[in-house]
């Protein structure tokens, strides 16, 4: 076995940069999914409350005489 090739392979950092980018991209994607889910949850709660209030509102009849 050629130990020089093993040593050169262990010192090579080209693959490490790729791994860094993959981890960084996955973290950004996960953060985006979490933010969207939080906003979606809040918007659903808000629209549900508004719908309940509008459904319970009484609108008086208007007569044009």
Q: Which domain holds residue 39?
A: 17-55
Tokens of 51: 């719908």
- pLDDT (tens, 9 = 90+) of the chain, 65 residues, equals 788 888 887 777 777 778 889 999 999 999 999 999 988 887 777 788 888 888 888 888 888 87
Residue 65 lies in a domain: no
Residues belonging to the chain: 65
- The whole-angstrom separation of Cα 8 and Cα 25 is 28
Total tally of structural domains belonging to the chain: 1
pLDDT at 35: 95
- Domain membership of residue 62 (yes or no) is no
In a domain, 36, yes or no: yes
Asked whether residue 61 is domain-assigned, the answer is no
């Amino acid at each position: 076995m050629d130990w020089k090739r093993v040593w050169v392979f262990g010192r090579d950092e080209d693959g490490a940069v790729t791994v860094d980018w993959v981890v960084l991209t996955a973290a950004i994607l996960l953060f985006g999914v979490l933010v969207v889910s939080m906003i979606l949850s809040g918007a659903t709660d808000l629209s549900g409350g508004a719908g309940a209030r509008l459904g319970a509102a009484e609108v008086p009849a208007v007569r044009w005489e």
